[in-house]
Amino acid sequence: MNGMPHYATIEELRRAAKKRVPRMFYEYVDAGSWSESTYRANSDDFARLQFRQRVAVDFSRRNLATTMIGQPVSMPVALAPTGIAGMQHADGEILAARAAQRFGVPFTLSTVSICSIEDVAAHTQAPFWFQLYMMKDRGFIADLIARAKHARCSALVLTLDLQIQGQRHKDKRNGLSAPPRLTLRNLAHLSRYPRWCAGMLRTPRRSFGNIVGHAPGVTGIASMADWAAKQFDPTLTWNDIEWIRERWGGKLILKGILDEEDARIARNVGADALIVSNHGGRQLDGAPSTISMLPRIADVLHGDIELHMDGGIRSGQDVLKALACGAHAVYMGRAFLYGLGAAGEAGVTRCLEIVRDELDMTMALAGITDVRAINGDVLRAGGFMKPRQLPGEDAKPVRIQAA
């Protein structure tokens, strides 16, 4: 892969990204809020789930392809909306979108991306998805929706769990900003990452492309910070979703559902899918992991609406476990950002290859031939999984034909 080291796991991509991305941007990705208990639980709770190993199953032909909100995908995985991905690597959102396009999975562009909607649209061919934060300035939001429609975005992902920012200690200690403030301390630190700096010097995309130059009065980093501090709207309610639906008119996904009652309400507001999410453990610390809540939310929805999830996906095995717990598909955020930071577009591609190969192999060893047929039977009972009903003694026996 053009001389790129052979990364075998997402963890190897993470370690490489840590060496190549300046601390304030690496820790923006690899951190949670407050004590980080929810951030850790998102990954740790996946480890509590065990597979049922099955044998004597013909798995010579396996299928990973399915759909997400009616869109064909090569596997049930999307790249999650992640803020300032363009600070992990120069032109990061463009590179990630191109990798996802070639791989056949959706890419979701964040409102607070470095590359703008127009930038990504100009450098990709397939439609991508756009993630929206509700702001107080409804005129700006209406314009943002119109820009996403003009760019042929095929789905709008409305995030519901960031109307106030969580207590992110590392971001505060690092003085996070995009681009970084040019203090003596920051300059000394950035000098340790010459390749990252060279990439940033070559690109004009170093600030918030969807906001700077588009929001009234926002012309640079100083005015952007002041605007953002005042714009996240704490008055957002379920009633505002209808306003967004009317202006969007296309596929709508609601992100940030972590409670059964909220899931029931969200099902009834006309969305096409829900994302079980705790914002990667970056908002309410002490909230449960997404994988532990997924089966409960799936139970109350009864398949009435397509159910997605994010949080803690670091392998193809995690993807399979999420599908077994009731998800139709999953989103990866940190995993692809590690790949982006480690090796740019090739690193994102390698991340997707790793997850695909792990999902495929685990399906085979668990006796599964089609990703669309995965259900709770693939997991052993225990932890937050309900006991599984197995065939009784009078079940029809398997007949073995003599050779």
pLDDT in tens, 316-338: 999 999 999 999 999 999 999 99
What is the predicted pLDDT for the residue at 387? 57
What is the predicted pLDDT for the residue at 399? 45
What does the block give as tokens for 378?
A: 């693939």
Instruction: Please indicate if the annotation marks 259 as binding a ligand.
Output: no
Domain 10-378 class in CATH = alpha beta
Instruction: Please indicate if the annotation marks 193 as binding a ligand.
Output: no
C-beta separation of 62 from 369 below 8 A: yes
Instruction: Please indicate if the annotation marks 14 as binding a ligand.
Output: no
Instruction: Please indicate if the annotation marks 264 as binding a ligand.
Output: no
Instruction: Please indicate if the annotation marks 313 as binding a ligand.
Output: yes
What is the predicted pLDDT for the residue at 398? 44
- Establish how many alpha carbons lie within 13 A of residue 173's alpha carbon, considering only the half-sphere containing its beta carbon: 9
What does the block give as tokens for 325?
A: 């717990």
C-beta separation of 290 from 283 below 8 A: no
Q: Sort strands 129-132 and 306-310 into parallel, antiparallel or unpaired.
A: unpaired
The DSSP 8-state label assigned to residue 9 in this structure reads: S
Nearest CA-CA partner of 313 in 77, 135, 89, 155: 77
What is the predicted pLDDT for the residue at 376? 95
Any idea where the domains of the chain sit in the sequence? Answer: 10-378
The DSSP 8-state label assigned to residue 251 in this structure reads: E
Residues catalogued as catalytic: 279
Positions of the chain with pLDDT lower than 70, given as ranges: 1-3, 383-384, 386-403
What is the predicted pLDDT for the residue at 389? 55
Instruction: Please indicate if the annotation marks 311 as binding a ligand.
Output: yes
d(C-alpha 233, C-alpha 213), whole Å:
21
Say if residue 295 is preceded by a cis peptide, omega within 30 of 0: no
What does the block give as tokens for 247?
A: 């202006």
Instruction: Please indicate if the annotation marks 28 as binding a ligand.
Output: yes
d(C-alpha 46, C-alpha 338), whole Å:
19
- Establish how many alpha carbons lie within 13 A of residue 144's alpha carbon, considering only the half-sphere containing its beta carbon: 30
Report the 10 Å Cβ neighbour count for 145: 20
pLDDT 10s digits, 78-116: 999 999 999 999 999 999 999 999 999 999 999 999 999
The DSSP 8-state label assigned to residue 45 in this structure reads: H
pTM for this entry: 0.93
What is the predicted pLDDT for the residue at 384? 67
Per DSSP (E only), the strands in 197-322 are: 251-257, 273-276, 306-310
What is the predicted pLDDT for the residue at 280? 96
What is the predicted pLDDT for the residue at 395? 45
